[in-house]
Amino acid sequence: MARKTREYGEPIAFSLTSMMDIMTIILVFMIKQVDSEGQLITAAENLVLPNSTSTKTPREVSLGLVVDANWVLVDGQRVVETSIVSGQDTLLVAALDEVLKDKREIEKQAKIAKGEPDEGGGNIIVQLDKNMNYDVMYKVMATCGFSGFTNVAFAVNQLNPEE
């Protein structure tokens, strides 16, 4: 007797149910990961921020100053080489002071235009590499104060944010 050959009927539709389950789980996980408040600071490239137990996050947008191994940058624009800051004897970093004063003036004008009082000095968030020496940090911080940015904060990596 001839062997009965298998008959193929209509092609079976590809079941997407299990794929949907996977996608739903991934989506829920991702939504949980996204910070609903958003982040007002973004970690700069070319540096490693120190870890800290601080849980304080910035309330408003502030001017960003980054000091990495090679450059001091204000709002992403290179201002002065870090080695120059490190090598100078004076506390005031002239090139940085000039840029910061301009930024502060723009900030003041914007507040006047909005009809808001300009009180308490400007806000600035400084991102420094964790291995940067205190001398550079101190000069940068002092220059911020000279140029009107008196509310200085350092950006850090939150240690164990889930705890």
Partner 1 sequence: MAKQLKKAPPPKEMDMLPVMSLMTVLIPVILTMASFQKLAIVEVNLPERTEMSIESEPPPPDDNALNLTVAITRDYLEIWARGGSLPREFYKEMWTFRCRSDGDTITYDPSTFVYDDKGAAKNPPKCQDGRELDSEKFRYSIETIHLWALHKESEEDPGKIKMSVYSKTDSAYLDGNNEFITDPALVRPGLTVATLSESSARRLACGQSAPGVEDICSDGRPAVSLRPRSAYDELAKTLMMIHNRFIDSPDADNIIVLADDDTAFDKIISVMDRARDSGFFKINLAKLAAGG
SS3 of residue 109 by DSSP: helix
Residues 75 to 104 in contact with partner 1, rule: CB under 8 A: 91
Output 74 or 152, the one with its CB closest to partner 1: 152
Query: How many other CB atoms are there within 10 angstroms of residue 147's CB atom?
Result: 23
Q: Is 130 in the site for partner 1 (CB under 8 A)?
A: yes
Of the CA atoms within 13 Å of residue 74, those in its CB half-sphere come to 18
Q: Does 151 bind partner 1 (CB under 8 A)?
A: yes
Identified binder of partner 1 from the candidate list 1, 5, 6, 13, rule CB under 8 A? 13
Which residues are paired to 65 by β-bridges?
A: 74, 126
Residue among 99 and 136 whose Cβ is closer to partner 1: 136
Instruction: Tell which positions 35-54 bind partner 1, by CB under 8 A.
Output: 35, 39, 41-43, 47-54
d(CA 80, CA 74): 10
Q: Number of residues in contact with partner 1, rule: CB under 8 A?
A: 57
> Does 23 engage in binding with partner 1 (CB under 8 A)?
yes
Residue type, 1: M
